[in-house]
């Protein structure tokens, strides 16, 4: 069976193979700390054996819930922020037709997002679009108290009830939240809405393989069993029994930490297919929230190539040498497009006639990699044999496992996010939320 492949030979001009091999014991200890639950944040390890623990009843529950929404909605709005929407959007975008929203003959509802910002125009325009549309809502919040999704949920739930009537609306709303705490749980139970429990032990950014991701992905018409199957394979491959040399998560964690120690403070995730844009957004959240603390951590950035070669390409080639790149490469695209011959050849492109467009893309990828390495930018590569549910499942688990190991190598707790609270406190103080009277006084005195 083929799997996703990590290669890091194009980092070896910058860090030595011996140094990387030297991480073996440290990485083993980090992996053991994850599996034995002896490391920092050990009450948030529910994601670790999650793929292999999903049972048939759970798949059916998610699929049946998705079926109700699929059969009754033209549009399903996923409400959530951070880990409560990025994984679903990453997978759905990666698997969808790039022009999905323009398809007339639809088999699947259009999946849209809300609660990931507080843009008034965004919400106004979304609500205008939903007028007279048959729509449903998946409201996702682990804590059930996050302001952005709560605000969007109140607006959209009210609209849905006005358009459909209260009883009909109930069948079109699904909540994913804590089992007992939070406003969303209270509301779901009080109103008898269908809900899924998000276990305490799974943090938001590690939750894509729970109903947080699986439900929207199933609504969009994709095979969640294959996604989980891919993650199961990676769970085995990245397990304790695998040697350092065979464990891609262990190696990725070691290489990026060694690069970091050698002054490479920024990791840029690169793709050559625009539908992978949100894979990078999901990855940035996973690594940024997990590692950026205690004044440490690689800054996770991303670019879409070849598009951004015409903007950020200059900086990457010749700017400050504090970066390395990790390229996500798709070996075999899902479609074939052959470049045509032209009698006149006015554009001078007949040297490409008969070649696949992907061959041009691959040469751009290879040429860029060589140029960037020559320019002082170490490159790693993660190759997916194809872009499908199975390999995306492998990729997701690979990144999650590597993030846990990498966080432990860095010496931080990869499962908390204390820094996210600072803006919330100020926002509530400025909005004069009850309970924040002292903070309101203090912040207003600073204005």
Among 289, 304, 365, 394, interactor with ligand PA5 by CB under 6 A: 289
Total residues contacting ligand PA5 by CB under 6 A comes to 14
Cβ neighbour number for residue 340 with a 10 Å cutoff: 10
b/e per residue 301-321 (b: at least 16 CB within 10 A): bbbbbeebbeebbeebeeeee
User: If binding is defined by CB under 6 A, does position 300 make contact with ligand PA5?
Assistant: no
Min dist CB 289 to ligand PA5, Å, is 5
Q: Is the peptide bond before 306 cis (omega within 30 degrees of 0)?
A: yes
DSSP string, 384-441: EEESSHHHHHHHHHHHHHHHHHHHHHHTS-TT--GGGHHHHHHHHHHTT-TT-HHHHH
Closest CB to ligand PA5 among 176 and 316? 176
Q: Is the dihedral of CA 201, 228, 253, 294 positive or negative?
A: negative
Indicate which residue of 233, 235, 281, 289 is catalytic.
289
Among 10, 89, 142, 264, interactor with ligand PA5 by CB under 6 A: 142
Residues 6+ apart with CB under 8 A from 272: 305, 306, 327, 329, 330, 361, 364, 365
Min dist CB 416 to ligand PA5, Å, is 9
Active site residue 341: no
Among 205, 232, 275, 381, interactor with ligand PA5 by CB under 6 A: 205
Tokens coding 340: 């045509």
User: If binding is defined by CB under 6 A, does position 89 make contact with ligand PA5?
Assistant: no
Min dist CB 197 to ligand PA5, Å, is 13
Among 82, 211, 393, 407, interactor with ligand PA5 by CB under 6 A: 82
Min dist CB 182 to ligand PA5, Å, is 8
Among 39, 46, 51, 83, interactor with ligand PA5 by CB under 6 A: 83
Indicate which residue of 355, 424, 425, 441 is catalytic.
424
Min dist CB 426 to ligand PA5, Å, is 16
Could you say which DSSP state residue 239 is in? S
Min dist CB 441 to ligand PA5, Å, is 27
Among 256, 309, 417, 436, interactor with ligand PA5 by CB under 6 A: 417
Closest CB to ligand PA5 among 337 and 424? 424
Min dist CB 45 to ligand PA5, Å, is 14
User: If binding is defined by CB under 6 A, does position 146 make contact with ligand PA5?
Assistant: yes
User: If binding is defined by CB under 6 A, does position 143 make contact with ligand PA5?
Assistant: yes
Does residue 96 contact residue 275 with C-beta atoms inside 8 Å? Answer: yes
Tokens coding 178: 């804590």
Active site residue 424: yes
User: If binding is defined by CB under 6 A, does position 203 make contact with ligand PA5?
Assistant: yes
Among 141, 247, 251, 406, interactor with ligand PA5 by CB under 6 A: 141
Of 350, 271, 349, residue with least CA distance to 307: 271
Tokens coding 366: 């290879």
Indicate which residue of 310, 335, 421, 438 is catalytic.
310
Closest CB to ligand PA5 among 24 and 416? 416
Min dist CB 51 to ligand PA5, Å, is 19
User: If binding is defined by CB under 6 A, does position 147 make contact with ligand PA5?
Assistant: no
Active site residue 190: no
From the list 66-74, 127-135, 138-146, 431-439, the region that binds ligand PA5 by CB under 6 A is 138-146
* Residue with smallest beta-carbon separation from ligand PA5: 204
DSSP string, 158-214: HHHHHHH-HHHHHTTEEEEE-SS-SHHHHHHHHHT-EEEE--TTS-GGG-TTSHHHH
Does residue 332 contact residue 386 with C-beta atoms inside 8 Å? Answer: yes
User: If binding is defined by CB under 6 A, does position 136 make contact with ligand PA5?
Assistant: no
User: If binding is defined by CB under 6 A, does position 149 make contact with ligand PA5?
Assistant: yes
Does residue 432 contact residue 220 with C-beta atoms inside 8 Å? Answer: no
User: If binding is defined by CB under 6 A, does position 404 make contact with ligand PA5?
Assistant: no
Closest CB to ligand PA5 among 83 and 393? 83
Closest CB to ligand PA5 among 205 and 381? 205
Does residue 263 contact residue 101 with C-beta atoms inside 8 Å? Answer: no
**Per DSSP, what are the bridge partners of residue 175?**
139, 195
Of 446, 402, 413, residue with least CA distance to 43: 413
Q: Pick out residues in 6-35 that bind ligand PA5 (CB under 6 A).
A: none
Walk across the sheet containing 379-386 and list its strands.
Answer: 5-7, 379-386, 323-332, 266-271, 299-304
**For helices 147-164 and 183-191, angle between their N-to-C axes, nearest 10 degrees:** 20
Which residues are annotated as catalytic?
289, 310, 424
Which spans of this chain sit near ligand PA5 (rule: CB under 6 A)? 81-84, 141-143, 146, 149, 203-205, 289, 417
């Amino acid at each position: 069976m083929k799997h996703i492949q990590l290669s890091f030979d194009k980092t070896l001009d910058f860090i030595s193979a011996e140094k990387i091999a030297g991480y073996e014991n440290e990485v083993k200890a980090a992996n053991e700390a994850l599996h034995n639950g002896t490391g920092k944040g050990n009450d948030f390890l529910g994601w670790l054996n999650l793929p292999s623990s999903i049972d048939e009843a759970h798949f059916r529950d998610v699929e049946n819930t998705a079926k109700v929404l699929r059969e009754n909605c033209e549009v399903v709005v996923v409400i959530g922020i951070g880990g409560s929407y990025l994984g679903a959007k990453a997978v759905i975008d990666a698997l969808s037709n790039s022009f999905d929203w323009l398809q007339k003959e639809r088999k699947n509802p259009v999946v849209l997002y809300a609660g990931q910002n507080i843009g008034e125009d965004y919400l106004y325009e979304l609500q205008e679009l939903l007028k007279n549309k048959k729509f449903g809502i998946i409201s996702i919040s682990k804590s059930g108290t996050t302001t952005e999704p709560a605000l969007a949920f109140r607006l959209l739930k009210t609209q849905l009830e006005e358009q459909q009537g209260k009883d009909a609306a109930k069948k079109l709303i699904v909540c994913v939240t804590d089992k007992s705490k939070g406003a969303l749980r209270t509301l779901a139970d009080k109103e008898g809405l269908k809900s899924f429990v998000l276990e305490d032990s799974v943090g938001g950014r590690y939750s894509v393989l729970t109903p947080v991701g699986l439900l929207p992905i199933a609504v969009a018409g994709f095979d969640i069993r294959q996604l989980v199957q891919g993650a199961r394979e990676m769970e085995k491959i990245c397990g304790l029994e695998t040697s350092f040399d065979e464990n891609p998560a262990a190696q990725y964690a070691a290489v990026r930490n060694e690069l970091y120690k050698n002054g490479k403070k920024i990791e840029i995730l690169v793709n050559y297919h625009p539908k992978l844009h949100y894979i990078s957004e999901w990855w940035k959240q996973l690594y940024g929230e997990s590692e950026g603390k205690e004044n440490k951590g690689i800054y996770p950035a991303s670019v879409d190539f070849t598009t951004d070669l015409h903007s950020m390409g200059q900086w990457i080639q010749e700017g400050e040498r504090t970066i390395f790149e990790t390229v996500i490469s798709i070996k075999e695209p899902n479609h074939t497009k052959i470049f045509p011959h032209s009698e006149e050849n006015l554009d001078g492109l007949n040297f490409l006639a008969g070649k696949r467009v992907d061959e041009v893309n691959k040469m751009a990828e290879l040429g860029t990699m060589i140029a960037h390495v020559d320019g002082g930018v170490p490159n790693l590569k993660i190759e997916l044999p194809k872009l499908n549910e199975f390999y995306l499942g492998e990729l997701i688990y690979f990144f999650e496992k590597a993030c846990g190991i990498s966080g432990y190598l860095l010496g931080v707790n990869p499962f908390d996010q204390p820094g996210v609270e600072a803006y919330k406190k100020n926002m509530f103080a400025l909005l004069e939320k009850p309970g924040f009277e002292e903070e309101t006084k203090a912040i207003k005195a600073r204005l």
